[in-house]
Amino acid sequence: MEEEKIEVNNESKKFDFKKFDFKGFDYKKYLPYAGIALAVIVVLIILVSLLGGGPKKAVKGFVEGMNKQNASKIIKSVDFVGMSAWGYYYDEDDFSDEDYDEFIESYEEMSGDMDKNDLKESKEFLEETMEESFEEIDDTYKSYKMKIEKFKDVEELGKDLYAVDVKISMEAKPKDKDEADEIDESEVVTFVVYKNKVVYAGGIGF
């Protein structure tokens, strides 16, 4: 029996479904590999769902809350214990395994120490502060818009902990140009997300 030779190269080629001969394709020959292929597809789906619906979803919820000036929506996307544990102690660009272990230890300690009433009061205080800021924006600007332009990068810092770089644009037109300047700018902001909740937002919102 002549050995079948398979040539492999590193060039990525686009598959043309229109030119593929589905009727003449000998699918039985490849049945033994179907289980492996299915397993790979399942893993890819899981990875896409984790990256697409996890840290990115948390960031989307936060930015949408800012855009709609919806303080309660922002609060729902934030982990207050994680925000306290992260603080300004860590640099997501230079984050080590030791930093991760320290963050988790601080998070667990704070989770046990933080009183539910204190947590509730913290949420209420932040929500009131944000609503006051949004009222000030409405008094100053006749239009205001914040949106995500593009997700630049998602980096896993540790289990359930991600750094998400996202390009955000903001536009605002003042009611009185003598009182405030028009805003039309964009920048890349780094969010840190733990268990699908924002713990750091690059200074946006708080």
Q: What pLDDT score was predicted for residue 103?
A: 95
Tell me the whole-structure pTM to 2 decimals. Answer: 0.68
Instruction: Give the model's pLDDT for residue 121.
Output: 81
Whole-number pLDDT of residue 203: 61
Rounded CA-CA distance 146/179 in Å is 21
Output the CA torsion sign for 93, 99, 104, 108.
Answer: negative
Residues of the chain with pLDDT under 70: 1-53, 203-206
Q: What is the mean pLDDT of the chain?
A: 76
What is the structure's pLDDT at 26?
A: 52
Amino acid at 51: L
pLDDT tens readout for residues 132-156: 888 888 888 888 898 999 999 999 9
**Residue whose token pair is 């996307």:** 77
Strands 183-194 and 197-200: antiparallel
Which helix H or strand E contains 202, and what residues bound it?
none
Strand partners, 171: 145, 184
Residue 181: its pLDDT value, please?
A: 84
Q: How many Cβ atoms are within 10 Å of 127's Cβ, its own excluded? A: 14
